[in-house]
A and B are shown apart, each in its own frame.
Chain A
Amino acid sequence: MRDAFIQTLTEFVPRHPEILLVSGDLGFGVFNEYSARFPHQFLNVGVAEQNMSGLAAGLALEGHTVFTYSIGNFPTLRCLEQIRNDICYHRANVKIVCIGGGMSYGAVGFSHHATEDLAILRSLPGMLVLSPCDLWEAAAASRYLISHRGPAYLRLDKSAAPVTAQPNEEFRPGSIRTVRGGLDVTLAATGGILGEALLAADILADQGISCRVLSVHTIKPIDADTLTAAASETGGIVSVEEHAIDGGLGGVIAETLMEAGVFPRFFLRIGLRNTFSSVVGSQQYLRKIYSLDSAAIARAVSTKLAVAIPAYT
C-alpha cells in the first residue's frame, strides 16, 4: 500500500506544485525517485513528529497541500495535540499518512503497532479517516486526497486484501463498498484484514452461511445507509479490524446503528480485546495469536450465529 501511495503521489506531483511531502525521517529508499525528481516538494524534518505536524499546519495555512509521513503511531499519537490544535482547529490542509496500520510491523514490536489510531483520529472534528483494504483502494484514496481540502488521515496497511474492484469502478470517499453479497451475516472490515474476512466468508459459505462482506475504507464520515441496510437485510453485523475493539470500526458501527434505531439480530466486534500486542511474530502470525485470522473470524461468527439464531445450527 505504501508503494501505491508513493506512486500515486509521484504521478500527480508534477501538476500539483502545492504538494509537499514531509517525512519524519522514515521511508529509507522509498523516496529516492520522488525526492530526486521533486526536491522542492520533499522535506525530511528529522525524528521530530511534533514539529512535523505543527510545521505542516503552518505550511498548509500558507497554501500548501502537506502530506506528513511516518510509521505506526509516530505521525498520530506522538503528536496528537499538534494534530488537534494546529491542524484540525485551523482546518489546515494536512494529510497524515501512517505506514503500518494495525500490526503491520509485526515482530518489530508493540511500539510500532498502530492499534488505537482509528478510534482516536476519528474523534477529531473535521478529520477525514481513510483506511483502504487493498492496492486499488490505497491508490484511489491517495489520489482523492490530492484534491481534498482539510485534515485527513490515511492508514496504510502492509498487508492488502486481493483487489475486488470492478473495472471502471469509481472510488467514493465516505461510502462503504460491498465487496461480496450475502444475506445471513455481514462482515464489515477495514484495512488489509478485509482479506481475512473474505477467507472467513469462504469458510462460512462451506458451512452454508452466506456472508455479505463490506470494505469500510472511510471510517469518518461513516456511510450510515449501507450499514443500516446490512443490519436490516442480514442476520447480524460483525466488525473486523486490526485495531482495539474500543472506539474503532466496531465502535462507529454500533454508534451508527443505535442512533439510526436499526438493531441487528446480533453484533460482534472482532479486534484486539483490551490487550497489548506483545507477542513476537509476523503480522500473519499475530493475527492468529489474537484471533483475527480467517479461521478465528469464521469460528467466532458461526458460534455467535448459533447462539443468536439457533435455526442456523
Chain B
Amino acid sequence: MTTAATTNATCELARRIRTHALRMTSIGGGAHIGAIFSCADILAVLYGGILRVDPISPKSPTRDRFVFSKGHAAAGLYAALAERGFFPVEQLLTHYQDGSDLCGHVSHKLPGVDVSTGSLGHGLSIAAGMAYSAVLKSSSHRVFCLLSDGECDEGSTWEAALFAAHHGLSNFMAIVDYNRIQGIAPVSEVIELAPFAEKWTAFGWGVREVDGHDHQALSTAFAAAPFVPGKPSCLLAHTVKGKGVSFMENTVLWHYRIPRGAEFDAALAELEAQP
C-alpha cells in the first residue's frame, strides 16, 4: 500500500536524482540528461521502496536484482544509489573525472550495481539469466530491467523477450522508458515501435501502460506484478524526455547537450522550484 507520505518521499527523491544528475553531467561534460530525466521518477519509485535491496549487504543473495540496461543514463542510477546509501553522495561529483569509478555508462565497480551496461540491447538477456536462475533455485527475489525505447531497435532485446516469455519468467519485469525520442531523432521518424504494447503482448508478456512520472501509478503497477500469472511483465512507462526542466522536455537536442552556464542555472532553478 502506497501512502501519500511515501509518494512525497519518492517525489523528493526524484527531484534530488535530477538535481544530482544535472550537476554531474554539467561538471563532467557527460551527456544524456534528457534520458536521465525521463527515468528519474521510475528510479525514485524503485529505490524509494519497491526494490528489496540493502546498502549494508549489497550482494545479499535474496536481494531484488535490477539491471539498468539503458546504461547511458548512468548518472541517474548513480544518484539513486547514493541517495539510497550505497556510497557517499559526495562521490557523485567524481562522475566522468579521471580515476573515478563513476563511468559515463553504468559500471559494476560500484556497490549496488551488478551489471555494467552501455551498449544497448544487452541488459534484458543478462537480467533474463538472473531471473531464470532464481526459478532454478526457487528463490523468491524479483528481477527488474530498465530499457530505453531506442534499445528496442536491437534484435537482442527481442531474443531475450522471446526467451523470458517461453520460460514464463513471472519473477521478471521489463520497464521501458518510452520517451519517444532516441539518439538523434524521434522514435516515430527513426524506427517506429508502435503498436508497442501490442508487440510485447504478442511476444508473450503481460503488459501494463503507465504514466512514468506518476509515482502513485508506478507504485501500484510494480506491486501488481506479475501482470498475468505465469508470464513476464512489461511495464510500458510513458515518459517525457527531459522531464522536469521546461526547455529540455520533448527535445532531441537534450539527448546529447551538456547543461552549462545560463542553461545550467535555469535548469537548476526550475528543479529547485518544484514542490
Interface residues of A (CB under 8 A from B): 40, 43, 45-46, 48, 50-51, 53-64, 81-82, 85-86, 89-90
Nearest B-chain residue to A40, judged by Cβ? B136
Chain A residues in 8 Å Cβ range of B125:
50-51, 53-55, 57-58, 82, 86
**Cα separation A53 to B116 with both chains bound (whole Å):** 15
**Tally of chain B residues near chain A (CB < 8 A):** 31
Mark each residue of chain B from 114 to 135: 1 if its CB lies under 8 Å from any CB of chain A, else 0.
Answer: 1111110111111111111110
Binds A, one of B154-162, B210-218, B231-239: B154-162
Known: A81-B119, A85-B116. A56 touches B129 (CB 8 A): yes
Partner of B163, one of A46, A64, A81, A85: A46
Nearest B-chain residue to A63, judged by Cβ? B133
Q: Does B108 contact A (CB under 8 A)?
A: yes
Evaluate contact between B108 and A55: CB separation under 8 angstroms.
no
Known: A46-B163, A50-B155, A50-B156. A59 touches B133 (CB 8 A): yes
**Cα separation A71 to B233 with both chains bound (whole Å):** 33
Mark each residue of chain B from 145 to 176: 1 if its CB lies under 8 Å from any CB of chain A, else 0.
Answer: 00000000001100110110010000000000
Q: Can you pick out 23 interface pairs between chain A and chain B where the beta carbons lie within 8 Å of each other?
A: A40-B136, A46-B166, A48-B162, A50-B125, A50-B156, A51-B159, A51-B160, A53-B125, A54-B123, A55-B126, A55-B160, A57-B115, A57-B126, A58-B67, A59-B132, A61-B129, A62-B134, A82-B156, A85-B117, A86-B115, A86-B125, A86-B126, A89-B108
Chain B, interface SS category: helix
Nearest B-chain residue to A89, judged by Cβ? B116
Evaluate contact between B159 and A50: CB separation under 8 angstroms.
yes
Evaluate contact between A85 and B129: CB separation under 8 angstroms.
no
Q: How far is the CB of A207 from chain B (nearest CB, A)?
A: 53
Chain B residues in 8 Å Cβ range of A50:
121, 125, 155-156, 159
**Cα separation A55 to B116 with both chains bound (whole Å):** 14
Chain A residues in 8 Å Cβ range of B136:
40
Evaluate contact between A61 and B116: CB separation under 8 angstroms.
no
Evaluate contact between B163 and A59: CB separation under 8 angstroms.
no
Evaluate contact between A51 and B163: CB separation under 8 angstroms.
yes
Known: A54-B122, A81-B119, A89-B116. A62 touches B159 (CB 8 A): no
